[in-house]
């Protein structure tokens, strides 16, 4: 299991350099982006101190990464700690906007239509919140189906599974993508996130973009497919899918692996694509930053509808949502110290946790934004 995980992670490390090309980074000189941040991260100064006990809440997809960051933070800044509640992206944003935590973790950006951007600005004393992407990872279509270890799905077929248009594993549409496979006459049991989740938002954006009109339910952090059984958090859906033959869910790669789920290939129009280092790298190559200045919002939607051969199209980035200004001096100092550690020495343990360490050039973009927090 760990070998598979490291394969995907290594692909993300290599592909992270390509992300900077797509973003137009001035710092992406030849060879610079291909190096992990871990190599010289210890040289980045960290000004410890300020608030002793920070609090944050949100994305369960990044919980294991945050645990790694907290450990590194405590080693670098003795007596300093962060308490992270992996309650889901939606809950994290609500707690941040309600001034109940110091920052939020979210798998999708703040929503203007829901008033989240305005609420965050109010919470930040009239200043905008920034999105700082610290954790990257692919989303797996994880399933458990006895006798079927190799399965291909398309965006259109996945949409029909998750909105109830396809109910049986031997449906002709699935069979057409899996010539020669012995598919059972078994009911498909959809498992979805019942709590508000950025993973759900990204997954539904993918379905909306890649399904050729089969997904009409829209996107958002609440699952809108109208079928299946809901479970809370990434661990909850992965555990539920892993316990029932015929189940399928959408979940971050590490959770799918931990629960021994099979992972479907995705046919984006150019043939079946396995989730691995090369295919994830090709997908991240298309990512662009659509935020301005130090607000590093990524435009991943362009990936979802791509028909690039060999590109795995289902990815997410997890943001730390922070106030650009508006913290008291002690809180700002501690947040900057924690995020600096997270973006530098904290990256060293991410591969073992199933995530992708930041490439050096993207690390520098994050450090610039972190330094500007006030």
* pLDDT per 10-residue tile (average), the chain, 374 residues: 39 36 32 41 89 96 93 97 95 97 95 96 98 88 97 98 98 97 97 92 94 96 97 95 98 91 96 84 73 91 86 89 98 98 91 70 88 96
Q: Is residue 90 part of a domain?
A: yes
Specify whether 95 is located in the same domain as 221: no
108 and 170 belong to one structural domain: no
Do 61 and 42 share a structural domain?
Answer: yes
- In the prediction, which pLDDT does 27 show? 32
pLDDT for res 361 = 67
Is 98 within the bounds of a domain?
A: yes
Q: Within the chain, how many helices (H) and strands (E) appear?
A: 14, 14
Within a domain: 52: yes
197 annotated as ligand-binding? yes
Question: Measuring CA to CA, how many Å separate 170 from each of 1, 161, 186, 271, 371?
Answer: 28, 12, 7, 20, 55
Q: What is the pTM of this model?
A: 0.70
- Give me the CATH number covering residue 223: 3.40.190.10
Does residue 240 share a domain with residue 120? no
> Can you name the residues that pair with 106 across neighbouring β-strands?
319
In a domain, 153, yes or no: yes
Element (H, E) at 74: helix 63-76
Do the annotations mark residue 199 as ligand-binding?
Answer: yes
Which among 98, 64, 108, 99 has a CA at the least distance from the CA of 84? 64
Contacts with 149 (C-beta within 8 Å, 6 or more apart), sequence order: 262
In a domain, 182, yes or no: yes
- Domain span at residue 338 reads 2-137+317-372
Domain boundary among 235, 253, 281: 281
- Ramachandran area for residue 152 (φ above 0: left; ψ -120 to 50: alpha; else beta): beta
**For tokens 């662009």, what's the residue?**
288
Q: Are residues 118 and 154 in the same domain?
A: no
257, 281, 305 — which closes off a domain? 281
Other Cβ atoms closer than 10 A to 35: 16
From the CB of residue 74, how many other CB atoms can be counted at a distance below 10 Å?
Answer: 14
Whether 334 contacts 49, CB under 8 Å: yes
CB 157 within 8 A of CB 165: no
Last residue of a domain, one of 258, 281, 304: 281
- Answer yes or no: is 302 a known binding residue: no
Check if the beta carbon of residue 131 is closer than 8 Å to that of residue 319: yes
**In-domain check, residue 237:** yes
Measured between alpha carbons, how far is 33 from 54 in angstroms, rounded to an integer? 32
Q: Do 143 and 247 reside in the same domain of the chain?
A: yes
Statement to judge: residues 97 and 157 lie in one domain? no
Q: Does the residue 195 lie in any domain?
A: yes
Our count of domains for the chain comes to 2
Are 95 and 185 members of one domain? Answer: no
The reply to whether 144 and 108 lie within a common domain is: no
Instruction: Confirm or deny that 307 is annotated as ligand binding.
Output: no
266: which strand partners?
Answer: 153, 273
Write the DSSP string, 230-263.
EESHHHHHHHHHHTSTTEEEEEEHHHHHHTT-EE
CA angle 202, 204, 205 (to 5 degrees): 60
Q: Does an H or E element contain 364, and which? A: helix 360-372
Query: Is residue 89 marked as binding?
Result: yes
Is there a single domain that holds both residue 268 and residue 143? yes
Q: Is 60 labeled as ligand-binding?
A: yes
- The residue written with tokens 């958002």 in the block is 220
Residues 142 and 131 reside in one and the same domain: no
Q: Collect contacts of 85-88 with beta carbons under 8 A, ≥24 apart.
A: 85/55, 85/56, 85/57, 85/58, 86/57, 86/58, 86/59, 86/60, 86/62, 86/233, 87/57, 87/58, 87/60, 87/195, 87/233, 88/58, 88/59, 88/60, 88/193, 88/195, 88/196, 88/197, 88/232, 88/233
Are the C-beta atoms of residues 76 and 345 closer than 8 Å to each other? yes
In this structure, are 272 and 345 located in the same domain?
no
pLDDT of the residue at 363: 85
**Rounded distance between C-alpha atoms, residue 68 and residue 78, angstroms:** 16
Compute the Cα dihedral for 192, 108, 234, 60 and give only its sign. Answer: negative
Sequence-distant (6+) residues with CB within 8 A of 244 are 144, 189, 191
Element (H, E) at 153: strand 152-154
The verdict on residue 288 lying in a domain is: no
Quick one: pLDDT at residue 114? 94
- What does 319-357 look like in DSSP terms, one character per residue? EEEEESS---HHHHHHHHHHHHHHHTGGGGGHHHHT--P
DSSP states along 252-300 = EHHHHHHTT-EE-EEE-SSSEE-SSHHHHHHHHTT-EE-S-TT---EE-
């Amino acid at each position: 299991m760990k070998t598979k995980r490291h394969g995907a992670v290594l692909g993300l490390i290599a592909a992270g350099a390509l992300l900077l090309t797509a973003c137009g980074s001035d710092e992406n000189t030849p060879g610079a982006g291909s190096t992990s941040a871990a190599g010289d991260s210890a040289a980045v100064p960290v000004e410890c101190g300020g608030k002793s006990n920070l609090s944050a809440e949100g994305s369960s997809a990044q919980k294991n990464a945050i645990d790694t960051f907290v450990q590194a933070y405590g080693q670098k800044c003795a007596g300093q700690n962060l308490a992270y509640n992996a309650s889901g992206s939606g809950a994290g944003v609500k707690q941040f906007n309600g001034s109940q935590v110091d920052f939020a973790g979210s798998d999708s950006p703040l929503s203007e239509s829901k008033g989240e951007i305005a609420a965050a600005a109010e919470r930040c004393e009239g200043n905008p919140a920034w999105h700082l992407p610290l954790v990257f990872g692919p989303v797996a279509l994880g399933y458990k189906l006895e006798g079927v270890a190799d399965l291909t799905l398309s965006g259109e077929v996945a949409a029909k599974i998750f909105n109830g248009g396809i109910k049986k594993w031997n449906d002709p549409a699935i069979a057409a993508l899996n010539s020669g496979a012995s598919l059972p006459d078994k009911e498909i049991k959809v498992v979805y996130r019942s709590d508000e989740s950025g993973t759900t938002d990204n997954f539904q954006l993918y379905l909306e973009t890649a399904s050729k009109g089969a997904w009409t339910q829209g996107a958002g952090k609440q699952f809108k497919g109208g079928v299946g059984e809901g479970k809370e958090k990434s661990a909850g859906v992965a555990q539920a899918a892993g316990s029932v033959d015929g189940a399928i869910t959408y979940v971050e790669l590490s959770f799918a692996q931990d629960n021994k789920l099979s992972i479907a290939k995705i046919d984006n129009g150019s043939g079946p694509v396995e989730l691995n280092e090369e295919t994830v790298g090709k997908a991240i190559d298309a990512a662009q930053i659509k935020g301005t200045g130090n607000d590093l919002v990524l435009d991943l939607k362009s990936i979802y509808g791509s028909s690039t051969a060999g590109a795995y199209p289902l990815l997410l980035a997890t943001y730390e949502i922070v106030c650009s200004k508006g913290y008291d001096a002690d809180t700002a100092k501690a947040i900057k110290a924690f995020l600096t550690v997270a973006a530098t020495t904290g990256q060293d343990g991410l591969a073992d946790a199933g995530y992708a360490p930041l490439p050096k050039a993207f690390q520098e973009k994050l450090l610039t934004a972190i330094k500007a927090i006030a």
